[in-house]
Structure 1
Amino acid sequence: MAEPELVTQSRPLAAPALVVLAGAAGDLGHRIGLELLARGGLVRALVRPGNAKPAVALLRERGATVVEVGFDDVGALTAACAGAACVVSALSGLRDVIVDAQTRLLDAAVAAGVPRFIPSDYSIDFTKLPAGSNRNLDLRRAFGQRLDGAPIQATSVLNGMFADLLTGQAPVVLFKIRRVLYWGRTDQPLRFTTIANTAAFTAAAALDPTTPRYLHVAGEVATVRDLRAAATSVTGRRFRLLRAGGPWLLQLMIKIARRLAPAPNEVFPPWQGMQYLHNMFTMPPNSAPLDNDRYPDIRWTKVREVLAAKA
């Protein structure tokens, strides 16, 4: 498989810290692992038994220790967490993963005496959203309550929307008809961060013992007008704005889609993506300030660069 491009340079640490990484076989987890290694950290990657994905093999080749462990076994997880300075979760799933499996991982980290835990949040700031507005973010909120009650230092990385989705799953920049689709206002600030930048920042945070409870980042804060300008610039063809209606209409569409195709066992059914867009377009304007400058070696990828890959 083509390995992801790292955005940092190797920076040896005086005393290499051991980071336990759960979800290392996934795209984001794999990138976090590579970034940790590039920064001089030691990585113990936790994967489910029998996982033979190329991403796991690459981490092993780069120097990570790969440990096969069942996430239903707190004893085995505790042994796997021994000696770590931080546990980073990049697990993906529904309640059985985000709440249940992560809780067992948290219990193991506490039992092993690990001082810090980074949960699998990597999203918009769900602390400012009403409960019930987004199923997947509600699960992260539920786990966050357990995390806040545990005797361990916690840090969540909140990166807005993955900018990579703008050229794929997120129906906002419509290249075929040269439109930028939106609901509500044209001046709503939207936060976008690439998966690569999120991985680099998370790795830096994992090796930083002074992180606060929440860290907010964005490769770019852009309005739909900014998206239109970026798409027009990289394609050389004029894009127009396409207002589908107010947020209330999108909310109605979500209810209809969820009733017609509930897909309760899918992590990202169509209505879930619609919920995320609704959250983006209705996020309160007084969002927390960005922490991009915390690790100055990271070069933040702009929306224009992401769209250029599609043009």
Structure 2
Amino acid sequence: MTAYNKVALAGATGLMGTPILEHLLQNNFDVTVLTREDSKATFPDSVKVQRVDYSSKESLVSALQGQDAVVSALTHLSIATSEALLIDAAVEAGVKRFIPSEFASDATNPKAASFPLYTPKIASIKRLEAAAKTNPNFTYTSVITGPLLGWVVTQAFINPTDKTAKLYDGGDRVFSVVMRATIGKAVAAVLSHPEDTKNRAVKVHDATSTLRKLLAAVQKAVGEDGWTVSTPSVEEALAGAWAGVKAGRFDFPTIFGFIVAASQGEGYGGELENVDNELLGISVKTDEELQALVEKIVVGADRTGW
């Protein structure tokens, strides 16, 4: 199986799509960006742009003709409304590889898979598995990464601006973290290693750490004085999330409890095992390198890189 060349990217302007596009171009893929018909986004001259109606299979099939691979970087809400049709269109158009919008904690973990947060992602994987079984020339790869390091140390669990931190269950549970750039590298590497990555999930991270260690790294960068640190319970956060969903809420404060459990809960797969870093040519960061990344995120001139 030869490496792919022509790649269509959906969601190219989003949080995940931006680094994916950057690394596809750096690795000399022939990239076509799928944009909504009313999009005002602009792209480098080397990028082809196809305006599509994500609610029309006919529009998507036409746009995907001749493409070797499709990478979906759709947002969580768009996965539920658009990714199924994008998968079906890719199959009909003769696309050889589909990478769904995964790029998060491990939804292959049975405990985490029960969370409604991951229902759209799991539905996409089941659809891809079924398509691969009935279409021998169609394959897929999902990319599992754990949460974004920058989000963890600036918003989700640690806030260096307000000097607050929530160390769930004491903050000593090991979990995986990733940079957005690494997600871009991983996607490009998957498409360069089609045989080794076909019809399975690949797992990649930048490092493993704990909330307590990451807090120490942030404090080393911004100072230790004036912090308010709490140690809430993972199970209480999870119980609150379930209660909110049962009450009909699905806003971010509600679903955050599922995110907490997926990364910080015991047995939910927060620490990725059997990672594919070596296959994909992505090094795991040392403690010193992780400290440097944290410092760049919280005090660096460019904080958008995470």
Q: TM-score w.r.t. structure 1 length?
A: 0.81
Match 2:48 to one of 65, 72, 76: 65
Paired residues of 1:219 and 1:303 also in contact (CA < 8 A): no
Structure 2 stretches lacking a partner, 5+ long:
133-137, 300-306
Q: 1:226 to 1:239 in 2, by over 3 A?
A: farther
- Where in structure 2 are the equivalents of 1:194-213 lying within 5 Å? 194-210=179-195, 211-212=197-198, 213=200
Aligned to 2:206: 219
> What's the secondary structure of 2:194's corresponding residue?
coil
Pick the aligned partner of 2:265 from 282, 296, 304.
282
Inter-partner Cα distance in structure 2 for 1:50 and 1:298: 40
1:258 deviates by 5.4
Distance 1:133 1:244, change over 3 A: farther
Q: State how far apart, in whole Å, the 2-side matches of 1:35 and 1:280 are.
A: 26
Residue 12 of structure 2: aligned partner: 24
SS of alignment partner, residue 128 of structure 1: coil
Alpha-carbon displacement from aligned partner over 1:71-94 (angstroms, at most 9, x marks no partner)? 111122112111211111001133
What is the CA distance between 1:48 and its match in structure 2? 0.4
Matches within 5 A, 1:128-277: 128-130=109-111, 133-151=114-132, 152-170=138-156, 172-175=157-160, 178=163, 180-210=165-195, 211-212=197-198, 213-237=200-224, 242-255=229-242, 262=249, 264=250, 269-277=252-260
Query: Residues 176 and 272 of structure 2 are in contact (CA less than 8 Å); yes or no, is this contact kept in structure 1?
Result: no
Quick check: 185-194 or 115-124, which moved more? 185-194
Q: Distance in 2 between matches of 1:302 and 1:278?
A: 23
Q: Is the 8 A contact 2:241 2:258 kept in 1?
A: yes
2:281 to 275, 287, 296: 296
**Paired residue total:** 286
* Alignment counterpart, residue 93 of structure 2, candidates 80, 88, 112: 112
1:7 aligned partner? none
Identity %: 25
Q: Is the 8 A contact 2:106 2:262 kept in 1?
A: no
Q: What does the per-residue CA deviation read over 1:141-164, in whole Å, with 9 as the maximum and x for residues that have no partner?
A: 122111110032110110100112
Q: Aligned with 1:50: secondary structure?
A: coil
CA RMSD of aligned residues (A): 2.8
CA displacement at 1:45 relative to structure 2: 0.5
Instruction: Mark the runs of 5 or more structure 1 residues left unpaired by the alignment.
Output: 1-13
CA distance 1:136–1:303, shift in 2 (3 Å): farther
Structure number with the higher helix fraction is 2
Q: Are the aligned partners of 1:184 and 1:246 in contact in 2 as well (CA < 8 Å)? A: yes
1:167, CA displacement in angstroms? 4.1
1:309 aligns with 2:294: no
Displacement after TM superposition at 1:282 (Å): 1.3
Q: How does 1:34-113 map to 2 (within 5 A)?
A: 34-53=22-41, 57=42, 59-61=43-45, 63-94=46-77, 97-113=78-94
Determine helix, strand or coil for the equivalent of 1:45: strand
Residue 84 and residue 176 in structure 1: after superposition, are their counterparts in 2 closer, same or farther (change >3 A)? closer
Q: Does the aligned pair in 2 maintain the 1:187–1:225 contact within 8 Å?
A: yes
The residue that corresponds to 2:303 in the other structure is none
Which letter maps to 1:121?
A: E
- Structure 1 residues 199-208 or 174-183, which shifts more? 174-183
